[in-house]
Amino acid sequence: ASIAALLGAAAYAAVAGLALPTVRTVLMIAVVALVRVLRRRASTAHILALALLAVLLWDPLSVLVAGFWLSFAGVAWLVWCLPSDDRAIMRGFLSAQTVATVGLLPLTVSLFGQASLVGPFANLVAIPWWTFVVVPLCLVGTALEAIYPGAGVWAWQLAGWCFEFTWPGFVWLGQTTAALWWVPESDGLALIAALLGAFWLLLPRGTPGKSLAALLWLPLLWPDRELPAQGEAEVQVLDVGQGLAVLVRTHRHALLFDTGPAVRDGFDAGERVVLPALRALGVRRLDAIVLSHADADHAGGYVAVRTGLPVAFTAAPPDAALDVSTRCRAGQQWEWDGVRFRFLHPGAGFPYLRNQSSCVLRVETQHASALLPGDIDEIIERRLLRGKVSDLHADLVIVPHHGSADGSDANFIAATGARLALVSSGHGNRFGHPRAEVVQRWQAGGAEVLDTAQTGALMT
């Protein structure tokens, strides 16, 4: 039976293209089969440890995959909690679901920053239906098709019907407000406390203090987020590669300046980087999104971010082909929590010229200021210098146009007097950003230059 199970699992893995999860399953079954064939006495814990070793020997980098931790942790919880002689099928299934949900919740939250409130209920239907109906029909169809072409079509059609029969219900569950609960990022101590809480909750019935065990989950599920004080702001340059996305947070408000790049039918930094980062930081809504201009490296992630989070208002340059609620114009200003926001460019009547029309945003706190100039070039820098030069003075500046050679004029740098110049660029980008001469000019002006391509996300 062990050999048959191994052969069946190996065949399934081959059909699935030897995907890592299927290979991991085959290796675990192989360890069990080997122990049985050699007639060696081994506890379940020993078998699990041998399977773990086999997987690591096959692919040492599997420790970097979330599925590795969830698979072995899930099996370990089940082995420890569930009796081996329980013949009540339904009770065993419900117990397994409870153990998996409670035991894996801390890891799920830590790895993905989210927890599913409807997942356990969906699994009650999905797991037996797919395990005993959909997947077997698919395998039967594959086997028959290998024997005689066309013989397996009926099984595949029936499997497809069984899939379509239940799928709308799962889609409905996934669209409910309880489908996902996004949790801000916490530290390692919170994960350890939550794992101890899960261990306590899964102790045998009658163990005292189980209601108190849930308190150990609080640091993980509701982590303490230290927000800027009244009159102060926090600026974070997200690592979106060759693009820009800057989060500015005050005591009770959050503004996103640009949303990162996106490629049609490809990578979308708004979905893959910006949204996960905002959720990890505990941002549940954005009070504003400012798009400096319409280029894809700055506004590509806009749709994903706007869809993923509630947004109070959005702004972009006049005549930019972007669906926003307002247009940024020089002189517009507002105040949040004692922090003033003001647009310095473009002025009234200025045409849309892509980079040169970038919204330039100034942020002033009680003790410091920041300048976010988008992709302006030397021409616009000189135009700003002809205005009120004191408006350009800032402790922190996002280097214009990712450090391109067409900007960061020496006079502009001197006018800012910046102590910190932050560059958002992609590692090894084809434009050579930031240019060495631009970095040298900022350093000569007294600024420390940091680049996301070298440091990752930056927070000040």
272, amino acid identity? R
Lowest mean pLDDT among 19-33, 68-82, 320-334: 19-33
Question: pLDDT band for position 422 (50/70/90)?
Answer: very high
DSSP label at residue 134: I
pLDDT in tens, 256-277: 999 999 987 788 999 999 999 9
Q: Residue 57 above 90 pLDDT?
A: no
DSSP state letters, 370-421: EEE-TT--HHHHHHHHTS-GGGG--SEEEPGGGG-TTS--HHHHHHHT-SEE
pLDDT number for residue 460: 86
pLDDT number for residue 106: 93
Question: pLDDT band for position 369 (50/70/90)?
Answer: very high
pLDDT number for residue 86: 60
CATH of domain 234-459: 3.60.15.10
Q: 174 vs 70, 122, 171, 180, 285, CA distance in Å?
A: 21, 9, 5, 8, 21
pLDDT number for residue 78: 86
Model confidence pTM above 0.75: yes
Tokens found for residue 275: 């949204």
Structural domain boundaries in the chain: 2-197, 234-459
Which whole number is the average pLDDT over 316-333?
A: 94
Residues 357/317, Cβ–Cβ less than 8 Å: yes
Q: Which residue has the tokens 């203090």?
A: 209
Q: Residue 24 above 90 pLDDT?
A: no
Q: Residue 115 and residue 220: Cα distance in Å, rounded?
A: 11
Which whole number is the average pLDDT over 200-223?
A: 86
pLDDT number for residue 293: 95
- Which H or E run includes 190? helix 188-201
Residues 414/445, Cβ–Cβ less than 8 Å: yes
Query: Cα–chain-centroid distance for residue 401?
Result: 26
pLDDT number for residue 233: 96
Mean pLDDT score across all residues of the chain? 89
Residues 289/274, Cβ–Cβ less than 8 Å: no
pLDDT in tens, 378-387: 999 999 999 8
DSSP label at residue 216: G
Which whole number is the average pLDDT over 63-68?
A: 87
Question: pLDDT band for position 12 (50/70/90)?
Answer: confident
Identify the top-confidence range among 202-211, 262-271, 292-301, 346-355: 292-301
Q: Which residue has the tokens 């916490």?
A: 186
Question: pLDDT band for position 279 (50/70/90)?
Answer: very high
DSSP label at residue 130: I
pLDDT number for residue 326: 94
Q: 21 vs 25, 54, 366, 372, CA distance in Å?
A: 6, 14, 53, 45
Question: pLDDT band for position 1 (50/70/90)?
Answer: low
CB atoms inside a 10 Å sphere around CB 440: 11
Lowest mean pLDDT among 165-169, 304-308, 410-414: 165-169
Which whole number is the average pLDDT over 360-382?
A: 96
